[in-house]
Amino acid sequence: MRLANRVSRLGQETAFEVLAKAKKLEAEGKKIVHLEIGEPDFDTPRNIREAAKKAIDKGWTHYGPSGGLPQLKEAIVSYIERTRHLKYDPDQVVVMPGGKPVMYFLIHALVNEGDEVIYPNPGFPIYESVINFVGAKPVPIQIKEEKEFNLDVSDLEKLLSPKTKLLILNSPQNPCGGVLSLKELEKIADLLKKYPDVMVMSDEIYSEILYEGKHHSIAALDGMKDRTIILDGYSKTFAMTGWRLGYAVCPKDIAPSMVKLMNNSVSCTASFTQIAGIEALNGPWDDVKKMVAEFKTRRDVIVEGLNKIPGFTCRKPNGAFYVFPNIKKTGVSSKDMADMLLYEGGVACLSGASFGAFGEGYIRFSYANSVENIKIALDSIKKLSHKWAK
């Protein structure tokens, strides 16, 4: 075998596989409604695009510092202060090409072989993949429908052990849309007092895509700032998935290793993208507000429609742009349902099981598509429902 053993331990995001299957069907002339991939269907706001074009013309086309441009790190520090009421030094911010590299580099920087990492399941598949890749032990914590798609703090208490190195939290959550309340975060922070060596990666990439209430970061709670790494980025908030721009906000002793990993891999994040990132944070937020309002309308349409489909029940999530209907009453497995909806209904979605074993019995729809297309998808699913309805 030519490949190193560790490569066989890597998983992947199935959204990209399903997208490829759906594109193939489209190339064969089939009509497909795309509810699989997790990216806003909106254009990046004009002011951000203009800022990038100007930055290219002004020569922001060279290498920059591995940890990010100082001007952007300043803008991120003040954004975090505005939104989380936390003060950081700009050197605690490490800019990266997306939020995904934050999880990849952080797990490499913190976790030794044999350490345990607790992570949400169903959850973003890359957590488990990278935990396995570094030879650590993935310890899934169930995200429970009956807890409004949140983790149960009493489960966490059972899973924490002297070997636990890292706890991954994600709120608002992919794939379920659950949002951790301040009260729950306080319970988690309280419990972690008994485990002072456990670090937390708080994936807050959907923090601005919230429909009611206010986003809370565990980093802002008593004793947590020095043990929490905030993962955030531009992909979802500003519809900038293809730009590749994200960042980690780290305790002081962790940031230099993250910068070293950047230096050893991609060197730096594209300079003109970073300049546009300053405009995104400091310029007008009207387009973001409009996008979130539109997502809320779509959420209401898809939740109402899914609840009318025999065998489906769907909670109304408070954040992100996903719904995670329970399909257990249909008697069809998640994978078979996702395949049936794609190949027979022309609706691309993801099997809940592709987000971990606890996702079996569910499917995920991303409602980053127009109300018109969501309605077409709902009609198509309804037409197929005779196949499972008794």
Per the structure block, which two tokens stand in for 234? 């531009």
Residue 246 interacts with ligand PLP (CB under 6 A)?
yes
Minimum distance, C-beta of residue 9 to ligand PLP, in the bound complex (Å):
20
- How far is it, in rounded angstroms, from Cα 162 to Cα 326? 35
- How far is it, in rounded angstroms, from Cα 381 to Cα 246? 36
Cβ proximity to ligand PLP: between 132 and 385 the closer is 132
Sign (positive or negative) of CA dihedral 314, 320, 321, 324: negative
Minimum distance, C-beta of residue 63 to ligand PLP, in the bound complex (Å):
21
Per the structure block, which two tokens stand in for 190? 């309280």
Which residue, among 5, 218, 231, has the nearest Cα to 109 in the 3D structure?
231
Q: Which residue in the set 32, 38, 259, 356 belongs to the binding site for ligand PLP (CB under 6 A)?
A: 38
DSSP states along 6-75: GGGG----HHHHHHHHHHHHHHTT---EE--S-S--SPPPHHHHHHHHHHHHTT--S---TT--HHHHHH
Residue 11's alpha-carbon distances to 1, 7, 8, in angstroms, are 19, 9, 8
Q: Which residues contact 158 (CB under 8 A, 6 or more apart)?
A: none
What would the x/- binding string for ligand PLP be over residues 123 to 152, using CB under 6 A?
-x----------------------------
Minimum distance, C-beta of residue 90 to ligand PLP, in the bound complex (Å):
20
Kindly determine how many residues on this chain lie close enough to bind ligand PLP according to the rule CB under 6 A: 13
Residue 34 interacts with ligand PLP (CB under 6 A)?
no
Helices (H), the chain: 14-27, 46-57, 70-84, 100-110, 125-133, 153-159, 182-192, 255-264, 271-282, 286-306, 334-343, 371-384
Residue 100 interacts with ligand PLP (CB under 6 A)?
yes
Amino acid 216 reads H
Give the CA diameter of the chain. 65
Minimum distance, C-beta of residue 291 to ligand PLP, in the bound complex (Å):
16
Cβ proximity to ligand PLP: between 177 and 233 the closer is 233
Cβ proximity to ligand PLP: between 178 and 246 the closer is 246
Residue 273 interacts with ligand PLP (CB under 6 A)?
no
Minimum distance, C-beta of residue 58 to ligand PLP, in the bound complex (Å):
25
Site residues (CB under 6 A) for ligand PLP, limited to 150-209 = 170, 174, 203, 205
Q: Which residue in the set 67, 68, 99, 352 belongs to the binding site for ligand PLP (CB under 6 A)?
A: 99
124 membership: H or E segment, kind and range: none
Cβ proximity to ligand PLP: between 14 and 170 the closer is 170
Cβ proximity to ligand PLP: between 124 and 388 the closer is 124
Minimum distance, C-beta of residue 207 to ligand PLP, in the bound complex (Å):
11
| Among 96-104, 106-114, 128-136, 213-221, the segment contacting ligand PLP (CB under 6 A) | 96-104
> Contact residues for ligand PLP (CB under 6 A)?
38, 98-100, 124, 170, 174, 203, 205, 233, 235, 241, 246
